[in-house]
Amino acid sequence: MLFDAQNEFPKSTLTWRLAEGIFEAIANLTSPEMVEVVIGCAGNLIAKIGEKLIAETRRHLGYVLYYHNYVESLKQQVEKLMVKSEGITLEVEEARRNGDVVAPEVEQWFTSVEVIYEESMRFLEIEVRENKGILNGWFPDIKKRYILSKKAKRKTQKAATLKAEVFHKISYPAPPLAVGDRSIGDFRNFESRIPIIDQLMKLLKDDTKQIISICGMGGSGKTTMVKEVARRVQGEKLFDEITMAVVSKEHNLMKVQEDLAKWLGLRFKATTLEGRANELWRRLLQSRKGNLVILDDIWKHIDLKNIGIPFGKEYKNCKVILTSRSKDACKAMGCEDVLLLDILTPSEAWSLLGEMVGDDLQDDPDLCEIASEIAKKCGGLPIAIVCLGRALKDKRKEVWKDTLLKLQRSVVPTNIEGVKEDVYQSLQASYDLLEDEEAKKLFLLCCLYPEYANVPLEALVRCGFGLEFFKHIDFIIQARDRVHALTDKLRSRFLLLSGDRKSTVKVHNVVRAVGISVASRLEPNMEQFSAVVMHEDKWPRGMTYGQYKAVSVVSNEISELPSRGLSFQKLELLQLACPKLSLEKLNTMFETMKKVRVVELWNLSLLSFSSILSSLPRDIFALSMDCKMETIGDIKTEEFVNLEILSLGNCDITELPMEIGKFANLRLLDMSGCRWLERISPGVISNLSQLEELDTGSKWWGDEEEGDTSLTELESLTNLKYLGIRIKSSNFLPKKGLFEKLQRYVISVGVHLEKSRSFNKRILLLKLEITDRHLGGGIDKLLRMNTEIVFLTGDGIKTALKELVPSGFQQVKNLTVECCNSEGTEYLSDSSYTSNSAGVFTNLEKLRMEKMWHLRGILRHDGQGLPIRSFSRLRKIHLSVLPVITYLFTQSVATNLVHLESLRIEYCTNMEQVIFNPRPSALASTIENKIVFPKLSELILNYVSLACFSHGLNLQVEFPQLTVLKLEYLPNFHTFCPEEINPASKGNLKGTNFHYLVDNKVTFPSLETLELSELDSVEELWSSQLPTSQFGKLKSLRVEKCHKLINIFPSELETLFPSLEKLDVEKCDSLEQVWGSEGVQIRNLKSVFVSECPKLRNLCSFYTFKGLPNLQILDVSSCKMMEEVVEDEHKNEKMKEVVSLGKLEEVKLAFLPNLNYFSHTKCDMEMAELTQVIVKNCPEMHTFSGSSVTTPKLKFLDGNIPGSVKWKTFDIEERGWTDSLCSARKLKNTYFTHNEHLRALK
């Protein structure tokens, strides 16, 4: 035969044997009639056998005859698959740029694509190429052809299956940050606050309490406290989800719903308050442990059900915390547990003031006495102390004295609700201490925006520039720099806070109230910025506006104008957001304005731009609109000769008409919020010759059709400082240096960008498909000079890298390089080419490289140390799908990574080490050899062929701040720091402790999360010689698919895990012990999950079990050899002690075919908090325990699964059940399935 049995040829031999058997049966027949009948049947059967034989033979011969077809089919199918992969990659890139999370099934699909691609390329380039046969193919190797054809067919089918896969969603919105994540460091644990927090935590754990409130004066720290409580609750996992919303005096319930939905990741479908309430209600009821809802700054009674918060005795899994200045408001909402947050004690106030001013008070007794009086004047409120303390920092004693005098003599207005007199005085003093008038005006401008608003810095730039706040400023870009400097100063004084989004600021509501009061009392002269805020449901009676320079009117309810007093004679700034005001009313309002300079309009629905523009004063300087609007309409631009700033946001216009080009003096045109803009009429851009800043929104430039503008029009803009633009591809880049003089820019070439763009950045996003093409339009000079953020994709990126190399990437802060299959792109930089002796990548903070098929490394250099500034600011590194790269950095470069915070390496299948030591044995045994990553907090290695992290004689690697370590699918990884690696075998390491994953050569004392998965070479996790500080902060440990691992916590291991709370062990085929017989007692452990460990006979010893006093959840499943969960080491000896597991709430035992007992130890146990026991598919389980188990709160005991049989139903209150499992007085019904020997249920 041509084929042997190993190749399974040809199953048709079975067909021959069947035919032979038929003929033998016929020969043995004696009756002619029977022979005739049988021959007739056999004839049909043999005919079919023949057909089958021919078909089988044809199929198997086809593997030989059509060998080239099978190979070619594989090539074509892989090419088609990679084309689809590139298309999905573009969608994934867009999703990531927009902050979305890629769907897990898509990530898995990419992994499968990479595997089949690499396998197919290896198959085609090695196995197929070697199969030439004899005499250059004239006499082919038939057996080899057969084998290769079958392989090619299987791979082709896999590739076709992957290509045919359809995804319903590529990505999902990223999960929100947990409430309190941003507050770490803000909370100060004052002595007077400790009882309040402890009481609040106790009430949250009480099932009978559903609504709790914290009441105190504005600025007393209520919000900071609830955020700290949320952080602690998150850590203890008391609730599945925590949500928070600010209610405020404005009482906008739909905004409250939106804020709550944001934390839940919920996108509303309904548009009404009631419809959204129903969606929110259903969403909050989905959780098992329940939700915590925090409603901040309550001013009056609100109905929680109208918002969509389940409230009442029947909804105990949803708890609410309120913060308010009014105890009565909380009582009206049904809150009986009101915690009063008092002011700070004098010693706490003094301590906080000292913290704010630093060392100023240490050596001057007189100054200390003045400071003590000032601290008293702050009224014990943290917000007042912090603001005034920061304002007085580094000031002379005379300034302190003058400030105290002002506090003693100032007159306080009586109409500021919720702000005490001394708080007002201290905050006004903080404002007065701002020597800079520009800073004062900018602070008051921030106070005009709605309460709790994220105020965009760009809005402050345009308003401030339009109102001429800034002296000696000629260009808008200079005003932007000034605003950033001033807001930094105001943040340092705590008069402003950082916003929730980038490039925004916020104002504390108490500080804002004082700022509004100050602005309303200023005299309206040239130097003063007098202002009034009207953010109410109706116009205040008797109010006049004629004397103010700025007016802010924001209301969702106002639909009419006041009957009198509506006059804006001196108005320069108008902020207006009243969606219920009709266009007619708006026009009436505008007609009363004489010389307004800046107008901001939000949340209005307009038919056209012209409908609102026609009513505005003709000398308007800046107009910023964030309104629904579909067209521009017919406008008389010649009447607005002073208009210099025009911003069109959130509008749906598709075309910018010729009329816009007649705003001859326009200096800023912002269309970044115009998401549907497709066309700009020819001549519009070239006519706006005074433009300094231009953003053309969603419009794609290049290859324009008739009636659309072209890039050549930009040549007319000689004053242009900022440009935001999207160009279809690099083919359309102009030859002239059109962009080279820009100072700020967001230029996207072939890359889709959804998010709003920053006018203060230098960003290039380039998709370059053609290699060795010159970058036109001055892009090459921008790369060399000052670009901060660079995104490169495509096979032609080497062109861009050449421009960056000579300068050593000096200005780049954020670099992304991806999707390049060019063989010439082996390194990002060659140090020998750089002319800058200061180093390379000196300002780089973030580096991401993905799908660089031929990249060998980041930097090619001679192995000597680089200048110390090289990579010295690098904070984040993410490498993914780099199949050729063998290491990240050499040890000499690694010493520069002093600011690295996050390192993530995935799918680098040829990487053997993260940090490479070119001379591992060069050092003498007495010389210290150490690598320290002082700020690295996250290290993730996934699907990498690493043998170790680094290697070398006496090598020590230290991670002092590492909190998260994830090692996943590292089949060759043995240990972190062996002395030597044998190049011929990745698995052959030299070193005394190489069989330990963690030994004394690596330290991470701050580690909190450790996840280990598919470490096929690891037999033991840690050495027993580790220092006690090594895992002192570890909270979560997950071990999965480590198939050589024998145990988790060996008996000789000392107590190293005092903070461990969660243990998860899954699918470890060789695991025989989780804990050794005298295993370490982890007293803080709260949850244990163990599943699919087939050799595990028990979980732990009784000694270990009783040392878990904080255990809350125990879940053991699918361990087929397990006989008892807790081992009976006392061999049936009766023990006198009673073991108490006072916090155990839930026990689940499932699919344990050999389980006899939970514990057969004769020792009574108390489980006072146990509420749920689930036992499923444990057919050999005799009883729960060998002694009495007391469980007074047990509510649910279940073994019910589909198809189960109701084993027993009885009333515990009548019979009791104390002898075997529990004394559960609340248990009513008991169900078990396939637990045939459970004697406790007689």
What CATH class has 181-340? alpha beta
Say yes or no to pLDDT of 956 above 60. Answer: yes
Strands (E), 750-839: 762-767, 789-793, 814-820, 827-830
Predicted confidence (pLDDT) per residue in 995-1046, tens digit: 688 888 899 899 999 999 999 889 888 887 778 778 888 999 999 999 999 9
Q: What is the pLDDT of residue 1039?
A: 96
Residue 20 binned pLDDT confidence (cut-offs 50, 70, 90): low
Residue 33 binned pLDDT confidence (cut-offs 50, 70, 90): low
Residue 1065 binned pLDDT confidence (cut-offs 50, 70, 90): very high
Q: Which stretches within 433-475 are classed as H helix?
A: 437-447, 457-466
CA pair distance 562, 1023, nearest whole angstrom: 79
Say yes or no to pLDDT of 643 above 90. Answer: yes
Residue 374 binned pLDDT confidence (cut-offs 50, 70, 90): confident
CA pair distance 988, 887, nearest whole angstrom: 18
Residue 1215 binned pLDDT confidence (cut-offs 50, 70, 90): very low
Q: What is the pLDDT of residue 570?
A: 86
Say yes or no to pLDDT of 885 above 90. Answer: yes
Residue 1120 binned pLDDT confidence (cut-offs 50, 70, 90): very high
CA pair distance 591, 59, nearest whole angstrom: 88
Say yes or no to pLDDT of 136 above 70. Answer: no
Residue 59 binned pLDDT confidence (cut-offs 50, 70, 90): low
Residue 1216 binned pLDDT confidence (cut-offs 50, 70, 90): very low
What is the pLDDT of the chain when averaged over all its residues?
81
Average pLDDT over residues 1145-1174: 88
Task: Find which of 417-426, 468-477, 1192-1201 is predicted with most confidence, using mean pLDDT.
Answer: 468-477
Task: Please report how many Cα atoms fall inside a 13 Å half-sphere around the Cα of residue 889, on the Cβ side.
Answer: 17
Residue 291: phi and psi, rounded to 5, are: -120, 150
Say yes or no to pLDDT of 800 above 50. Answer: yes
Residue 1056 binned pLDDT confidence (cut-offs 50, 70, 90): confident
Q: Token pair of 845, please? A: 């903070």
Say yes or no to pLDDT of 563 above 90. Answer: no
Q: What is the pLDDT of residue 1199?
A: 52
Say yes or no to pLDDT of 252 above 90. Answer: no
Residue 1207 parent element (H or E): none
Q: What is the pLDDT of residue 402?
A: 82
Residue 139 binned pLDDT confidence (cut-offs 50, 70, 90): low
Bridge partners of 990, per DSSP, are 980
Q: Which residue has the higher pLDDT, 690 or 952?
A: 690
Residues with Cβ within 8 Å of residue 285, at least 6 apart in sequence: 310, 315, 317, 318
Predicted confidence (pLDDT) per residue in 573-611, tens digit: 999 999 999 988 888 888 888 789 999 999 888 888 988
Residues with Cβ within 8 Å of residue 1183, at least 6 apart in sequence: 1157, 1220, 1221, 1238, 1239, 1240
The answer to whether residues 210 and 317 touch, using CB atoms and an 8 Å cutoff, is no
Residue 1050 binned pLDDT confidence (cut-offs 50, 70, 90): confident
Q: What is the pLDDT of residue 905?
A: 95
Within a 10 A sphere around the Cβ of 1211, how many other Cβ atoms?
10
Residue 665 binned pLDDT confidence (cut-offs 50, 70, 90): very high
The full set of domain ranges for the chain reads: 5-65, 67-172, 181-340, 345-433, 625-720, 1048-1061+1068-1242
* β-pair type (679-680, 655-656): parallel
Average pLDDT over residues 663-691: 93
Positive/negative CA dihedral, 280, 281, 283, 288: positive
Average pLDDT over residues 878-900: 91
What is the DSSP code string of 177-190?
PPTTGGGTTT----
Say yes or no to pLDDT of 513 above 70. Answer: yes
Bridge partners of 1087, per DSSP, are 1062, 1113
Q: Which residue has the higher pLDDT, 1210 or 1091?
A: 1091
The answer to whether residues 765 and 753 touch, using CB atoms and an 8 Å cutoff, is yes
Q: What is the pLDDT of residue 857?
A: 87
Residue 1220 binned pLDDT confidence (cut-offs 50, 70, 90): very low
Q: What is the pLDDT of residue 415?
A: 57
Largest interatomic CA distance in the chain: 133
Q: Token pair of 1109, please? A: 């006093």
Residue 411 binned pLDDT confidence (cut-offs 50, 70, 90): low
Place of tokens 């240990």: 975
Predicted confidence (pLDDT) per residue in 602-642, tens digit: 988 888 898 888 888 888 999 999 988 889 988 887 788 89
Which of 355-364, 626-635, 645-654, 697-706 has the lowest average pLDDT? 355-364
CA pair distance 382, 349, nearest whole angstrom: 7
Q: Which CATH architecture has domain 345-433?
A: Orthogonal Bundle (1.10)
> Under DSSP, is residue 500 helix (H, G, I), strand (E, B) or coil?
coil
Q: Which residue has the higher pLDDT, 1212 or 442?
A: 442
Q: Which residue has the higher pLDDT, 854 or 265?
A: 854
CA pair distance 777, 714, nearest whole angstrom: 11
Average pLDDT over residues 220-242: 85
Q: Token pair of 520, please? A: 């309303």
Residue 383 binned pLDDT confidence (cut-offs 50, 70, 90): confident
Q: What is the pLDDT of residue 232?
A: 86
pTM listed for this prediction = 0.74
The closest of 705, 683, 709 to 696, measured between CA atoms, is 709
State what percent of residues in the chain have pLDDT above 70.
Answer: 82
Average pLDDT over residues 170-181: 60
Say yes or no to pLDDT of 41 above 70. Answer: no
Q: What is the pLDDT of residue 17?
A: 56
The answer to whether residues 783 and 802 touch, using CB atoms and an 8 Å cutoff, is no
Average pLDDT over residues 887-899: 89
State what percent of residues in the chain have pLDDT above 90.
Answer: 27
The answer to whether residues 940 and 964 touch, using CB atoms and an 8 Å cutoff, is yes
> Under DSSP, is residue 108 helix (H, G, I), strand (E, B) or coil?
helix
Q: What is the pLDDT of residue 57?
A: 62
Say yes or no to pLDDT of 744 above 50. Answer: yes
Q: What is the pLDDT of residue 1027?
A: 80
Topology of domain 625-720, CATH: 3.80.10
642-to-360, 617, 634 alpha-carbon distances in Å: 50, 10, 19
Helix axes 104-122, 142-164, angle to 10 degrees: 160
CA pair distance 176, 99, nearest whole angstrom: 11
Residue 97 binned pLDDT confidence (cut-offs 50, 70, 90): low
